[in-house]
A and B are shown apart, each in its own frame.
Chain A
Amino acid sequence: MRTAISSLDLRRPASLEEALGILRDEPRTPLAGATDLYVALNFGTLEPKRFLDLWPLDELREISARGDTLVLGALVTFTALIRSPLVAARLPMLVEAAALVGGRQIQNRGTLGGNIANASPAGDSLPVLAAADAVLVLRSADAERRVPITGFYTGYRKTVLRPDELIVAVEVPRIAGRQYFRKVGTRAAQAISKVVFAGVGGAAPRLAFGSIAPVVIRARATERALAAGAGIEEAVRILEGEIAPIDDLRSSAAYRRRVAGNLLRRFSRA
């Protein structure tokens, strides 16, 4: 049962500055590629009534390198990530993740910023950004601040983003270790994740998981143990204490726990 469209209001700023000005004056829900918000609209579960259309803001579509930092604008689509030689060179695991988001139609519209702001624990790009130690650039009309993605989420679908702020970019420092990504979804394409894992290898490995806790997590204790030379089976035991998977429509806690451990084993073998 669809949400009544006549009850909705949309502002269409021509620039980021104008968008931030609007948000300073009144709270509005940012709308980017609409691939999440319009599903809610179609199901009649869309609660906000007032929206701010970011889609025209081309200044948020940049993919660039600033020295060792890869800068991804918030409106970069999954298709843009898949096609970018720079992202392929710097952050190949993000390309892998982007290619497994929905079908082409969704990749063409879904944005990195939208995936972050939607705050689903199953967001496919989030473990990649967490393993990459990505930093989100949040801007309001008056200020700009940088928040590591691991500090962005405070609980299930809750973030530190203030109503007057927009995610404008994601900054990813250069990664030395090998990158690994594996999504375990409900089917081979167009799947919702049951478990997503992104890992960065090296002496101090970085391990990030999605869909196995209310928010994307870095398995810090497991990372520390591995860095200190723990064996893989010990690491898996520690990991099991760090994650909090649940039973839901798509999978079971037991399966998610077991597969998370197996993916860590596979990462350590690779």
Chain B
Amino acid sequence: MKFTLNGVAADVAAHPMSRLLDVLREDLGLTGTKEGCGEGECGACTVLVDGEPVCSCLIPVAQVSGAEILTIEGLRGEHPLQRLFMSEVGAQCGICTPGMILTALSLGPAPSLDEIRTTLAGNLCRCTGYPAIYRAVMKWREEEGRAGGHGGGRQGGAA
């Protein structure tokens, strides 16, 4: 199975119906993607496939053949959202954080609070009650706006 993972070509020998989540965590050792429910409710397993957030626990790996996949590791700790999630306390226990950040990357350049809430509705957080997450996302977009509006779009600052 060939696909692009975090900007690098990947080729894994996995059963075509293996869950993308398991291939990432176990075959490729990328454990930043988390499993919280197995039914597409919590969003902890969110990754971006061709720029769009999806639940990796509900995807047979065969279906990402040829696709571009971005996991939290692909941001390499360099994305401003990663820093802001920590400084704004958008992360408490942190288990939802990778999925939350990846979903937020699919937001447009100057999202309203309603757009943020709607976009993140597929990611459950039990610690923060969400406002701190909105603060992190809003600050990210404000910083980008000040910096000249680069790095927006659906792939975020990803490789």
> How many angstroms from the CA of A137 to the CA of B122 in the assembled complex?
32
Shortest distance from the beta carbon of A189 to any chain B beta carbon, whole Å: 4
Does B69 have its Cβ within 8 Å of any Cβ on chain A? no
Q: Is the CB of A105 within 8 A of B17?
A: no
Q: Which residues of A contact B17 (CB under 8 A)?
A: 5, 8, 10, 51
> How many angstroms from the CA of A2 to the CA of B21 in the assembled complex?
13
- How many chain A residues sit at the interface, stated as a range, is 20 to 34
Which of A6, A10, A43, A190 lies in contact with B38, CB distance below 8 A? A43
**A residues 171-221 touching B (CB-CB < 8 Å):** 188-190
Does A102 have its Cβ within 8 Å of any Cβ on chain B? yes
Which of A34, A108, A190 lies in contact with B52, CB distance below 8 A? A108
B interface footprint on A78-113 (CB within 8 Å = 1, 0 otherwise)? 010000000000000000000000111110110000
> How many angstroms from the CA of A39 to the CA of B121 in the assembled complex?
19
Q: Is the CB of A109 within 8 A of B58?
A: yes
> How many angstroms from the CA of A104 to the CA of B103 in the assembled complex?
8
> How many angstroms from the CA of A2 to the CA of B15 in the assembled complex?
15
Which of A39, A43, A189 has the most CB atoms of chain B within a 10 A radius of its CB? A39
Does B60 have its Cβ within 8 Å of any Cβ on chain A? yes
Which of A10, A12, A43, A108 lies in contact with B54, CB distance below 8 A? A108
Which of A31, A43, A104 lies in contact with B39, CB distance below 8 A? A43
Q: Which residues of A contact B60 (CB under 8 A)?
A: 10, 31, 34, 38, 53
Which of A2, A38, A105 lies in contact with B53, CB distance below 8 A? A105
Known: A104-B103, A104-B119, A189-B121. A109 touches B39 (CB 8 A): no
Q: Which residues of A contact B39 (CB under 8 A)?
A: 39, 42-43
Which of B16, B57, B103 lies in contact with A38, CB distance below 8 A? B57
Q: Is the CB of A35 within 8 A of B15?
A: no
Q: Is the CB of A102 within 8 A of B40?
A: yes
Q: Is the CB of A105 within 8 A of B62?
A: no
Does B143 have its Cβ within 8 Å of any Cβ on chain A? no
A interface footprint on B58-71 (CB within 8 Å = 1, 0 otherwise)? 11101100000000
Which of A2, A31, A39, A189 lies in contact with B40, CB distance below 8 A? A39
> How many angstroms from the CA of A253 to the CA of B3 in the assembled complex?
48
Q: Is the CB of A105 within 8 A of B103?
A: yes
Which residues in A have some Cβ–Cβ distance to B below 8 Å? 2, 5-6, 8, 10, 12, 31, 34-35, 38-39, 41-43, 51, 53, 55, 79, 102-106, 108-109, 188-190
